[in-house]
Structure 1
Amino acid sequence: MPRERRDVEAGLLCKGFQQREGDHHYFIYFTEEGQKSRVVTKTSHSMKEIPDVLLCQMARQCRLTKALFLGLVDCPLNRGDYERLLDQGGQL
């Protein structure tokens, strides 16, 4: 199911991602200690809604399944749990 771009972006910002502007909105994950990670995703300026296919790509870029990614942006998956998943997967 598509999600509003602004809701997805707000969810990412609440979970430790920092936004960088350019031709797209880039979101880079920073750990709770403030270290920059290799996890980066982006959204388009022109879209109001993000379709399922792009949500799947964003989930992959964030090293998550789509269900876990939606949990991340909708808030059931907190920042600490996300960081533990990244650490277990060798992404930090």
Structure 2
Amino acid sequence: MLKKGFRRREGDHHYYDYFNTQGKKTAVFTKTSHSHTEISASGISLVAKQCKLSRQTFDMLVDCPLSQQEYETLLILGGHVSPVTPVE
């Protein structure tokens, strides 16, 4: 997740906030418990939903076939984040 634009934030859980390709924080985030070393199948589905992805697409994000740019495009197309404006 950290290689795909998420940054870790500590709290009562592990929070991961998504930052776009220009480094701006978005409203997309997920969290996991401190107490679990492995996440259950239902937990993975919940994380996928929080990341605005289907379970199958989330697996692609985690397993690396889906790049950060491709993920961000899906978020934009889904209306979850604003398009990145080109830097001049």
User: Number of matched residues?
Assistant: 81
Runs of 4+, deviation exceeding 4 Å: none
Shift of the alpha carbon at 1:25?
A: 0.4
Residue segments in structure 1 that go unaligned for 5+ positions in a row: 1-11
Mapped to 1, the partners of 2:29 and 2:68 lie a distance apart of: 15
**Which one of the candidate residues 20, 25, 47 is aligned to 1:36?**
25
Equivalent AA in structure 2 for residue 84 of structure 1? T
Equivalent AA in structure 1 for residue 41 of structure 2? D
Identity of aligned residues (%): 51
Match of 2:23, SS? coil
Match of 2:53, SS? coil
**Which one of the candidate residues 1, 24, 39 is aligned to 1:50?**
39
Shift of the alpha carbon at 1:35?
A: 1.2
Residue segments in structure 2 that go unaligned for 5+ positions in a row: 82-88
Shift of the alpha carbon at 1:70?
A: 1.0
Shift of the alpha carbon at 1:46?
A: 0.8
TM-score (norm 1): 0.86
Shift of the alpha carbon at 1:68?
A: 0.6
Instruction: Identify the residue that residue 73 of structure 1 maps to in structure 2.
Output: 62
> RMSD value over aligned CA atoms?
0.6
More relative contact order, 1 or 2 (CA 8 Å, 6+ apart): 1
Say which structure is richer in helix: 1
Match of 1:73, SS? helix
